[in-house]
Each structure stands twice: as C-alpha cells, then as structure tokens.
Amino acid sequence: MAETQLEHLYRLVDEKFALLDEIELSLQRARRQLGAARNQSRRLTPINRLPPELLCAIFILGQEAQDEELSQEIDDDDESHASLEIESVPFSVTVSHVCRKWRNMAIDTAQLWTKLDFSEGPPYRWSKMLLERSKTAPLNIVLSLSDSDNKSGIDTVMNMIVPHHSGRVETLGINAISLNQINWILSRFIFDSNVVPPIIDLSLTEAEASSELVAISVDKANLPKLGQMIAGIRRLALSGVQLPWHSPAFSNLTHLTLENTSMDVENACPTEDQFMGILKASPKLQSLTMRDTAIKADVEDHPEWSFKRKPMRMDALTSLGIHSLPWNVMRFVLHVVVPPNLQELHISGVEARLSNDGEILDDDPGAVDLSVMGGVLSFLSLLNAFATIRASGDSEDEGPVTDTQRPIPYTFRILTLDSIVDGPFPQERLIDILRLTPGLERLTLETLDFPDEVLRAMHGVWSVPNASDPTRSELICPKLNWLKLSDIASITSDGIYDLAKARYQMKCPLTTLKVYDAWENNDEEEGLGLRLKKRLEPFVENLTVMDAGVVV
C-alpha cells in the first residue's frame, strides 16, 4: 500500500515537472512573439520612421521650448499656486534615456548641449562634458558666483571657456556678489582671447545691488574689441549695476531691462539727457522694461518736470514695462516714449516721488492718483491717434483725428494695470482707458478698486459721437478674449458672471478668465468661489477661480 502511494506521488511530481517544461516553452514562445511585435511596432510607429535629421530637429525644438519656459518668471496664474521647487530634468537628458538609438542621436546633436550653468561648482564635470558635446554650436553660459573672495573657482571656469570657446559665446549671464567679479569676468572674455565673443544676449546681476558703474579697464589697443562686442549685443539686462550712461553705444539693441538702481549712489541713475540718449542710440529697440529704477530730474522741485521734454518717436518698440517706479518717473517715461506700433503695456506698483538725493517727497495721494491716470490716458490716446492715422491713410502732420475714421488697424493688444493708484479707481477713467483700446485682446487688472459698472461697460455698448449717424454704437474691447481679475475690491461675483455671460451671448466670449479673490469683502461667504466657477463654466473655455488663496 505504501509503495502504491509512493509511485502515485512520483507520477504527480513528474507531471508537474512536465507542466513546468511546457510553461517554460510557452514563455519562450511568448517572449519571441513579444519581441517580434515590438520590432514591428517600432517599424510602424511614425516617429521611428522619421529620418534622423528630422528627429534631431524635433529634439532641438523640445529643448528650445523647455529653455523658454524656464527662462520666464514664475507666474502666479499657475493653478498649483504652490511654493514647491521642482527640479527640472533637461530635455536633452530625457530624450537621451529613451533608447539606444535616441541616445546616440541626442549625443551627436550639438544644439542640445549648449546651455552651461557653472553654479554647479568644481570640478565642473558636467560642464566639461557639455563643452565637448556642444562641439562648435553657439553657447549659452550662466556664471552664478556666491563667494566674493574665491577666485580660484572663477579662474577654473574662465580657463575652460576663454582659450578655446570664446568665439562661441552668444548668451552670457553673470550673477555675482560684487561688481569686481563682473568687471574681471567681462575683461577676461574680451581681452584674454584672440576672438571677440559674439555676445547677443548679456545679463549682469549684482547681488549687493550697489548700483555702481560697470568699469572695464581697457587700453587703447583693445578699445576696438570692446566696441565690437558692444555693437553686437541685442538683449541687455542690468540688475543692481549700471553702464556708463554718458556714452550709450548699443546701436543694435532690441531688448533693454533696467532694474534695482538707487538714487543714493552717485551717477547710478541716468539723468533725463542720458536716458533720452539711450533711447536715441537704440533705434532698433523693441522691448523696454524698467523695474525699481529711477531717472534724475534736471529740475527736481516740480512734480510735472516730465512735460518739459520733447517726446521721442520709437517705431520699433512693441513692448513697454514700468514696474515699481516713482510716479513722476513713470509719467516722464510715458511722456517721452512715443511708440506708434506698441503691442503691450505693463504698469505696476507706482511708488512715491523721490528727490535726486533719494528722499521720499510728500505729495498729495489724490493728486498723484489723478496724475498717474492722466498719464496712462494721454499715452493711450496718442497710440489711438497713430492707429487712426494709419487707418485714414493720411500723413501724420495733416491735423487732428476724428471718430469717423473708425474702425482702426490697432496694434496694441495687451494691457496690465496693477496697483497703479492708492485710492478707488474712478470708473469713468477706467472705462475711458478701455475705450481707447479697441484692439485689446488680453487685459490684466490687479489690486485695484472699481465697481461692477466697469464690468458692465465691457459687455454693453457705448455711443460714438458721429454727426452722420448719432445712433452709432460700439462694443468696448470687442477683441478681448483673455481677462485676469485679481484682488479687485468693489466688484461682485454677480458682476463677473454677468460679464462672461453677456460676452458669450454677443459672440465675443472670454476664452480665458482668471479670477483671483476678485470680489468685495462682504461677498465672501463660504463656497462662493466654487459656486462662481460652476456658474462661469458654460461661458468660458479656460477658467481659473481662486478663493481665499486656493484654486477651486
């Protein structure tokens, strides 16, 4: 009996082993079939059928898109609205880890490896590898220096770049602790190489923000090299440092950003004449951004000194940004800069007027608000006049413009007004501003105080004085499709809803609407943001509503 049971168990074991052999064979067949299917799938996948040259071009576009996204400032429109810092993996690294074919192609594509950030610190293995992989492609170099006394690290970097790669440096950003570092690095780039670096984009930032002048020591023999480099610069951003204002020489400049200058430092801020000289010397300027900077008045005891200057026409200028400037400096800029082809205007954080010694002057807040609003209205009226002249086909010297010449080919399409007045914004003034921007497509209103009447004006009609047709009417901002309202004190959630619904019904909907805590305090019952979002969803394609700092 025991032998019979034992034989039975042996047979079961043999059957199990035979079954395992069958399973192993089945797995091998499945693996072969899966491999064949994968190979066939790779052959059939459109991206794997592309020529290598085209696939490399796609890689380059992906890298450029990531660089552009990372270079932009963090926008508080981001729905995450979190303070999390997410380390971004370079696109070049991502595509090089997909498969062996893509890795080989990515490594051979020099344009993917041209951005070098030397903030990594010694021994700079990653940067050395990038220099090798970038071959002869133009370089984008960022030097972020944290120790003002450590020159050995800077020497190592400069010795890596200057002797062999200066002729490839097209973009250079220097984030330094002291001005001495900036002067020394620029001198090395210009004078320690046989080739003048073809720098197109130059950014200089001093952490101490001393507002002192960049002073490159140059002898007569090297002066042509300095002039050659300056003449090639297209984009210039200065933060906490200044160039010698008395000798602007950037004739090919297209983008200029001035930040963090102080009235307290001698010669740190340009005078009126020097600022006008900068504009005159930059006929190709397309973008001008001024942030937390100032201009010294020739006559400082009169708040309206800006009107003593003759305006300067700047046909190439399409973007103007004025942020945290003294209010009289803002008015000066809006008075002297005449850009008939302007596309976007951003004004935020108007500050108190300063004396030439940096002392805050005590001006009447109400008078300041009126002056600021008057400056914006005058500026937009001038743009409107240029557009109307273009529509009529007449010369700009043939006299005043009338409303009979509407509609007009208006280039101006983006407007941001943020914290430009301390008190309530008179609804008539704000409506007048909107009337002067018929081509407006994108509008941002932040930290202002105005009532629902302004919103109603944007979905109603307004009469245009016209002798031949007294009943003629027009929609305010008929092309507006993007609107952000943030921290608006006196409007209501019903006013926002009525605006979105009315424009939808009038066939000129808001495709993007961002509402950030933009209703009056007594309208902030619990859950209002979520209810408003649900009410708005049928009328707005891209909608963001924030209630009490939280996106709903």
C-alpha torsion sign, points 288, 292, 297, 303: positive
Say if CB 346 and CB 320 are below 8 A apart: yes
What is the DSSP secondary-structure string of 502-525?
HHHHTT---SEEEEES-S-GGG--
Residue 500 tokens read as 């979105």
Residue 74 pLDDT: 43
* Residue whose tokens read 């273009």: 390
Which DSSP symbol is given to 326?
B
Say if CB 241 and CB 261 are below 8 A apart: no
What is the phi/psi pair of residue 529, to 5°? -60, -45
Residue 328 pLDDT: 83
Residue 249 pLDDT: 66
Percentage helix, strand, coil for the chain under 3-state DSSP, each rounded to 5:
45, 20, 40
> Cα angle at 500 between 495 and 504, to 5 degrees?
145
- Identify the three-state secondary structure at position 84: coil
* Residue whose tokens read 């008939």: 340
Dist CA 334 CA 332 (whole Å): 6
Residue 191 tokens read as 């004078």
Dist CA 419 CA 422 (whole Å): 7
Which DSSP symbol is given to 261?
-
pLDDT averages per 10-residue partition of the chain, 552 residues = 72 79 85 76 65 87 81 48 52 87 89 82 78 90 71 76 88 84 83 84 76 60 77 88 66 89 64 84 93 74 60 92 89 91 93 68 75 88 77 50 45 92 83 88 92 84 53 76 91 91 90 84 64 91 85 78
Dist CA 174 CA 178 (whole Å): 11
Dist CA 298 CA 286 (whole Å): 27
Identity at 364, one-letter amino acid code? D
Dist CA 535 CA 538 (whole Å): 7
Element (H, E) at 290: strand 287-291
All structural domains of the chain with their residue ranges: 53-64+90-113
Number of residues that make up the chain? 552
Say if CB 369 and CB 419 are below 8 A apart: no
Say if CB 516 and CB 486 are below 8 A apart: yes
Element (H, E) at 229: helix 223-232
The set of long-range contacts for 374-379, using a CB threshold of 8 Å and a minimum separation of 24, is: 375/330, 375/331, 375/334, 375/335, 376/334, 376/347, 376/417, 376/420, 376/433, 377/429, 377/432, 377/433, 377/436, 378/334, 378/335, 379/334, 379/335, 379/345
Q: How close are the terminal C-alpha atoms of the chain, in Å?
A: 77
Identity at 405, one-letter amino acid code? Q
- Identify the three-state secondary structure at position 178: coil
pTM for this one? 0.80
What is the DSSP secondary-structure string of 347-364?
EE--B--B-TTSPBP---
Dist CA 389 CA 452 (whole Å): 34
* Integer angstrom CA distances of residue 77 from 414, 445, 536, 546: 16, 13, 18, 10
Q: Report residue 31 CA to chain centroid gap.
A: 51
Residue 63 tokens read as 């890298």
- Taking alpha carbons only, the member of 277, 335, 329 closest to residue 307 is 335
Residue 33 tokens read as 């079939």
Q: How would you label 95-127 residue by residue, b for 16+ Cβ within 10 Å and e otherwise? A: bbeeeeebeebbeebbbbbbbbebeeeeebeeb
* Residue whose tokens read 């309530």: 424
* Integer angstrom CA distances of residue 42 from 48, 94, 196, 500: 6, 19, 47, 48
Residue 343 pLDDT: 94
Say if CB 127 and CB 118 are below 8 A apart: yes
